[in-house]
Amino acid sequence: MSLSFQDLILTLHRYWGAQGCVILQPYDMEMGAGTFHPATVLRSLGPDPWRAAYVQPCRRPTDGRYGENPNRLGHYYQYQVVLKPSPNDLQQLYLGSLAEIGIDPLKHDIRFVEDDWESPTLGAWGLGWEVWCDGMEVTQFTYFQQVGGFECKPVTGELTYGLERLAMYIQGVDNVFDLKFNDAGVSYGDVFLENERQMSAYNFEVADTQTLFDLFRKAASECERCLEAKLPIPAYEQAIKASHVFNTLQARGVISVAERQAYIGRVRDLAKAACGAWLERAA
Amino acid sequence: MAGACRLMADFLLELRSEEIPARMQAKARNDLARLFAECTAEAGLATGPMETFSSPRRLVLIARDVADATQVSREEVKGPRTSAPPQALEGFLRKTGLAKDQLEDRDGVYFAVIERAGRPAAEILGDIVKRIVVDFPWPKSMRWGSGDLRWVRPLHGIVAMLGEEIVPVEIDGIASGAMTVGHRFHHPGAITVGGASDYAQKLRACHVIVDQEERERIIREGAAAAANSAGLQLLEDEGLVVENAGLTEWPVPLPGRFDDDYLDVPREVIVLTMRTNQKYFACTNDQGLLAPAFVCVANVAAKDEGAAIVEGNKRVLAARLADARFFWEQDLKVPLEEQAKKLSGIVFHEKLGTVADKVERVAKLARWLVESGVVQADADQVERAARLAKADLVTGMVGEFPELQGVIGGYLAAAQGEPQGVADAIRDHYGTPSAPISVAVSLADKLDTICAFFGIDLKPTGSKDPFALRRAAIGSIETIITNGLRLGLTEAVRGSLAIRAGQVSEATAAHRLDSTADELLAFFADRLKVQQREAGVRHDLIDAVFALGGEDDLVRLLARVNALQQFIRTEDGADLLTAYKRAANILKKEKWVGPQVMSSADEHGIPQTGEEDPLVLVDDPIVGQAVAEMASGEVGAELPEEKALIAALDAAESKAVAAVEAEDFTGAMAALANLRRPIDDFFDHVTVNDPDAAKREHRLNLLMRFRDAVNQVADFSKIEG
């Protein structure tokens, strides 16, 4: 029997826990990708070794489809693994995790397809691949080169599994809401369908744009206050907050193409300053 | 040959890494061959032919017949005099690496004799491998782990063997050896190779086909066979063949199908999503229509013959197509006219307003192109097409597939009942179309982009052309020429600038109109030269016609240029050009500017502003006639050659003018050809610089008349050679 959604997570936890990763719980803030978690961004900077794995809910307001699209969600989960320095056998370890969740590489077509990763809002980039399983992207695999505009030395290897896609694949399901969440008859839709409907309505129709613009400004200025107080972690949290508010503003369609760059630049400056402060403090 | 008795062996180098991007492999093979050839040549190591191979996980070089050592060499270097200051000697010792007592003193001059023993090839090759790895020019490279080495992706192994011997080298902790690995899943363990001789075979036994060309062949033929087996034709795509060969070590083409329902989605969308997102080949049926089928290329000989892989790929494709269809259905519901309204929310450029502003300008300009007779089409349909042309930019479909801008708009327009000509214009306006409505919209769009950016002084400079204005200009030129559009560029450019000026309040916009129009014409002239270079048209001839001024009708201009090019290839033409240059040189040397009008009037004379024709201002008809006669050279002609030239000019001028008027440029050239004999005779028998000032003046005027007559057809001074 194929793994339920929650057993998939538990299997990955056990596997990566055995590789010396600390198994963290999701960060308690809204963010667009597991990469934004301080356990990835801040810990990838500086010389200290670090291994962590965690699930992170990702909020992508513009991707919401009121629960009507079988593949798109405004809120979904990523399974994030970071290993620093990246070990020589990282690909092997990763393939080991696929075997663990039931993917036989002699029955399926596993491929590493070039996909360079860049996060303009984090001032970060790395080289790597999207990993394909029978033509489906199941994981983003990246060797970080820069984060917050700073060189990563040593290099962190980052694996980001798209949990819903992976689970759909393993369970042979075509609609994300039909996923078995557990083995006791609860589906993904039972847990999240109403959530998708309401959050789509909020993000696309209801969210008050004036309030959001205001929140953006406040988060940015709070970030700057924290930087002055030499507190990189709360400063970085405010940068994450600003980033999420910006994403919601985009979903509301009130940010023009020209303004978009300016907002991204603002968030990047905040994130970079927080990363700089983190490095200074660590030094 | 010195090397004939030496021992030779084949050299094998395999650089094994994590997956190399497919698109980088061809260049990497070339770079590897080039670097190896450079390094061996520099070291004096003789090698035979080379071959390079690549797969996702390895970059390989095999060099045949590598000498086992370099030859012994002896070199004498002359040094300073023995009497030279000690610093000179020290410098020489440093340079040669010798001690003083190793130098020879030959008649008071030091000589160093440097003998180089032959270096063993293995030693040299070790150094070369190191240098290649360190210097390799990947388009993008990276670090990994705690190391400092850079490679395209983490480098894990080096096989370096000369014959059957390992060439020892260590780079950042990676030591060379004879061990490599086979296919990632079929043969994950280490394998030992014996050298270049068995390398490819050993790997083949371990499910790795090293030769990319063989993999390409398997994919090309296998994919076609897979399509045929389903009664279909493969939509051939060599780019996909190469890309899939770069993604696989053991390629297995597998056919699959998708649901017929998705065929409602525009064909381009289906092909594009299969190609770019999934690297699948598309298939067509026997009528050439897109079939609901694909061929994917797996990298594994799967246990179940690929059933699970095809099943998985089908589901992925279905999800992608469902997504595409969702957007398509959403987009179909919204009339393009409604979508166009949203363009006012998209900034075209911060100083040029929104895309809606641009659309407004393009609509006006396109309409003008029709109403002024440049394009024969229905003005209302042209304006309609222009107003809808950019509407697809806000559709979900173009959001997903930006490269299908225009194509999507065309499909939507047709589906929403727009006339076919309007739909075609929306589809084709980004290119260089030929249907009249499309031509008007396309040309207006490009002219507007160019003029608008020039208007705010954002012109291309050097290698920088961020708004692709050069490409837009070439596109405009091609559209004008291939469709034979009779368009005065000056008027069009001024019209475009004026439309734009109408949208802005700044008074400076109108003010800049004149200088901008001139810059634009020069820019178009420049692009025309680039565009015509491929057709073998000489840039100096284009200059010669442009220099006449007022010639801004590209079709006429090129006809003139072509006639000119034909003409100067003839003996008459070449000879006339020589005579022209001679006349022009004399006039230049004498600083001759024409009949001395001022001297013939009183001190206050005829007011000359420098721009108007002075003759216009001559009130007195007698003076006017006298001046005209002086210019014609008729007054004061004495010698028969002078008279003959005048007669020839009288005939040629009117013929040339009439021919130019009738756009018969070959005829105009023929008229000029009649001047050849008279001007040659004139130069042979008449002395221009006659001591008699009146004769000199007269003859200079005659030469000027000749020069000006030729210049009516083209400015021959711009012609090179």
CB contact under 8 A, B247 and A113: yes
Which residues in chain A have Cβ-Cβ distances shorter than 8 Å to B184?
95, 105, 110
CA distance A95 to A85: 18
Mean of the pLDDT values across residues A89-116? Answer: 96
Residues in B closer than 8 angstroms to A70, CB to CB, are 319, 322
Residues of chain A found within 8 Å of residue B296, distances taken between Cβ atoms: 135
Chain A, residues 184-223, CB within 8 A of chain B, namely none
CA distance A269 to A264: 9
- The C-alpha atoms of residue B250 and residue B300 are separated, in whole angstroms, by 6
pLDDT digits (tens, 9 = 90+) for B110-151: 998 888 788 899 999 999 999 999 999 999 999 999 999 999
**B338-B344-B349-B352 Cα dihedral, nearest 10 degrees:** 120
Task: Establish, for the pair of chains A and B, how many residue pairs have beta carbons separated by less than 8 Å.
Answer: 116
Distance from CA of B235 to the nearest CA of A (A): 20
Per-residue pLDDT reduced to its tens digit, B185-212? 999 899 999 999 999 999 999 999 999 9
Taking the Cβ of residue B311 and every Cβ of chain A, the question of whether any pair is shorter than 8 Å is answered with yes
What does the DSSP 8-state code read for residue B273?
Answer: I
- Which tops the pLDDT comparison, B503 or B167? B167
Say whether A105 and B300 touch across the interface (CB within 8 A): yes
Query: Which residues have a Cβ under 8 Å from the Cβ of B411 and sit 6 or more positions away?
Result: B266, B423, B427
- pLDDT-based confidence at residue A258 (cuts at 50, 70, 90): low
> Which residue in chain B has the smallest CA separation from A96?
B185
Of A86, A116, A136, the CB nearest to B316: A136
Is pLDDT of B603 > 80? no
Cβ pair B298:A87 closer than 8 A: no
> Residues of B with CB below 8 A from A116's CB?
140
* A121: CB partners within 8 A, 6+ apart: A243, A246, A264, A267, A268, A271
Structure tokens given for B194: 């014996």
Query: Could you say which of A133, A256, A257 has the minimum Cβ distance to residue B312?
Result: A133
- Spatial contact of B14 and B180, defined as CB atoms under 8 Å apart: yes
Inter-chain touch B185–A105, beta carbons under 8 Å: yes
A107 closest CB neighbour out of B140, B303, B322: B303
* A22 interfaces chain B, CB cutoff of 8 Å: no
Q: What is the pLDDT of residue B606?
A: 42
d(CA A128, nearest CA chain B) in Å: 7
What are phi and psi for residue B297, nearest 5 degrees? -120, 110
Q: Kind and range of the H or E element at A97?
A: helix A90-100
CB B208 within 8 Å of CB A129: no
What are phi and psi for residue A81, nearest 5 degrees? -125, 130
**Distance between CA atoms of B411 and B267, rounded to whole angstroms?**
10
Spatial contact of A133 and A107, defined as CB atoms under 8 Å apart: no
Q: What is the pLDDT of residues B673-699, one digit of tens each?
A: 888 889 999 888 888 888 888 888 888
Give the closest-approach CA distance of A155 to chain B in angstroms. Answer: 5
DSSP string of B150-194? -BSS-EEEEEEEETTEE---EETTEEEESEEE--TTT--SEEE--
**Per-residue DSSP letter, A207:** S
Element at A83 (helix H, strand E): strand A75-84
Which whole-number Å values give the CA distances from B269 to B296, B424, B428, B434, in the listed order?
A: 17, 17, 16, 24
Give pLDDT tens digits for B286-308. Answer: 999 999 999 999 999 999 999 99
For chain B, how far is it from start to end, CA to CA, in angstroms?
Answer: 50
pLDDT in tens, B394-453: 998 898 888 899 999 999 999 999 999 999 999 999 999 999 999 999 999 999 999 989
User: Residue B154 and residue B16: Cα distance in Å, rounded?
Assistant: 9
Q: Which of A106, A88, A113 is nearest to B184 (CA)?
A: A106
CA distances to B34, B607, B644, B700 from B629, in Å: 73, 20, 16, 14
Find all residues with CB under 8 Å of B510, minimum gap 6, and list them.
B498, B501
ω into B85 cis (within 30 of 0)? no
User: A245 by DSSP, 3-state: which?
Assistant: helix
pLDDT of B601 > 60? The answer is no
Distance of CA B257 to the CA centre of its chain: 39
pLDDT bucket at B235, cuts 50 / 70 / 90 = very high
> What residues contact B670, with CB distance under 8 A and at least 6 apart?
B659
Angstrom CA distances, B349 to B77, B353, B503, B660, stand at 66, 6, 14, 43
pLDDT score of B620: 56
Task: For residue A273, give the amino acid letter.
Answer: A
Mutate which of A109, A174, A255 to disrupt the B interface (most B C-beta within 10 Å)?
Answer: A109
Q: Residue A186, Cβ neighbours under 10 Å: how many? A: 15
Contact A169 B312 (CB under 8 A): yes
Q: Residue B657: pLDDT above 60? A: yes
Query: What are the tokens at B61?
Result: 């070089």
Distance from the Cα of B20 to chain A's closest Cα (Å) equals 8
Q: Does B226 touch chain A (CB under 8 A)?
A: no
Instruction: Report yes or no: A93 at the B interface, CB cutoff 8 Å.
Output: no
Note whether B145 contacts A86, CB cutoff 8 Å: yes
Q: Which residue has the tokens 């388009």?
A: B139
Beta strands B104-106 and B73-81, pairing class: unpaired
- CA B234 → CA A241, B230, B292, distances in Å? 50, 10, 12
Nearest CA in chain B to A107: B302
Nearest to A258 among B18, B300, B347 (CB): B347
Substitution target from B16, B55, B144 for chain A, most A beta carbons within 10 A: B144
Residue B185 contacts A, CB cutoff 8 Å: yes
Q: How far is A164 from chain B (nearest CA, A)?
A: 14
Judge whether B294 and B317 are in contact, CB under 8 Å. Answer: yes
3-state secondary structure of B682: helix
pLDDT score for B621: 56
Q: Which of B435-444, B458-467, B548-557, B644-653 has the lowest mean pLDDT?
A: B548-557
Three-state secondary structure call for residue B13: strand
Question: Do A108 and B309 count as a contact with CB atoms less than 8 A apart?
Answer: yes
- Rounded to whole angstroms, the Cα distance separating A79 from A21 reads 13
Q: Is A96 on the interface with B (CB under 8 A)?
A: no
Shortest Cα distance from A226 to chain B (angstroms)? Answer: 32
Q: What is the pLDDT of residue B611?
A: 43
Query: A22-26: long-range contacts (C-beta < 8 A, 24 or more apart)?
Result: A22/A51, A22/A52, A22/A53, A23/A52, A23/A53, A23/A54, A24/A52, A24/A53, A24/A54, A25/A54, A25/A55, A26/A54, A26/A55, A26/A56, A26/A57
And the tokens for B238?
């060599």
Q: Confirm or reject contact between B318 and chain A (CB < 8 A).
A: yes
B494-516: average pLDDT: 70
Long-range Cβ contact pairs of B336-341 (< 8 A, separation 24 or more)? B336/B388, B336/B391, B336/B392, B336/B409, B336/B412, B336/B413, B336/B416, B336/B418, B336/B426, B337/B387, B337/B388, B337/B391, B339/B391, B339/B392, B339/B394, B339/B395, B340/B387, B340/B388, B340/B390, B340/B391
Task: Kindly report the nearest CA distance between residue B356 and chain A, in angstroms.
Answer: 14
pLDDT at B635 over 80: no
B60 sits in which H/E element? strand B58-67
Q: How would you class B690 by CB atoms within 10 Å of its CB: exposed for 0-12, middle for 13-18, buried for 19 or more?
A: middle
Cα–Cα distance, B555 to B545 (Å, whole number) = 12
**Whether residue A85 has a cis bond before it, omega within 30° of 0:** yes
CB contact under 8 A, A145 and B143: yes
Q: How far apart are CA A57 and CA B455, in angstroms?
A: 49
Residues of chain B contacting A157 with CB distance shorter than 8 Å: 144
Distance separating alpha carbons of residues B252 and B676, to the nearest angstrom: 73
Q: How far apart are CA B176 and CA B171, in angstroms?
A: 8
Task: Work out the pLDDT band at B618, boundaries 50, 70, 90.
Answer: very low
Q: Which residues pair with B170 in a beta bridge?
A: B175
Instruction: Please check whether residue A135 is in contact with residue B312, taking contact to mean a CB–CB distance below 8 angstroms.
Output: yes
Q: How far, CA to CA in Å, does A9 sit from each of A55, A99, B213?
A: 8, 14, 42
Name the strands in the sheet holding B233-234, side by side, starting at the edge strand that comes first in the sequence.
B233-234, B281-284, B290-298, B252-257
Q: Are A149 and A118 in contact (CB under 8 A)?
A: no
Asked if the C-beta of B329 comes within 8 angstroms of chain A's C-beta atoms, the answer is no
Q: CB of B32 within 8 A of CB of B12?
A: no
**Residue ranges of E strands in B438-552:** none
B109-116 vs B104-106, strand pairing mode: antiparallel
A225/chain B closest Cα distance in angstroms = 32
Contact A135 B318 (CB under 8 A): no
Interchain contact, A143 vs B144, CB within 8 Å: yes
What mean pLDDT do residues B353-360 have? 91
pLDDT bin (cut points 50, 70, 90) of residue B613 is very low
Among all residues of chain B, which has the CA nearest to that of A83?
Answer: B145
Confidence (pLDDT) at B612 = 43
Q: Is A257 on the interface with B (CB under 8 A)?
A: yes
- Residue B609, pLDDT > 50, answer no
- Cβ separation A111–B23 shorter than 8 A: no
Closest residue in chain A to residue B280, using alpha carbons only: A135
Q: Which residues of A touch B317 (CB under 8 A)?
A: 135
Closest CA to B191 of B183, B199, B180, B200: B180
**Dihedral of CA A34/A39/A45/A49: which sign?**
negative
pLDDT of residue B255 exceeding 80: yes
pLDDT band at A125; cut points 50, 70, 90? very high
The type of residue at B18 is E
Give mean pLDDT, residues B535-552: 83
pLDDT at B617 over 50: no
Query: B218 pLDDT exceeds 90?
Result: yes
* More confident of the two residues A38 and B454: A38
Using a pLDDT cut of 90, give the percent of chain A over it.
Answer: 87
Q: Which residue of B has its CA nearest to A88?
A: B145
Residue A257 has pLDDT above 70, yes or no: no
Spell out the residues 6+ positions from residue B321 whose beta carbon is closer than 8 angstroms to its own: B258, B259, B262, B265, B270, B273
Touching A: B residues 144-173, CB under 8 Å: 144-146, 152-154, 156
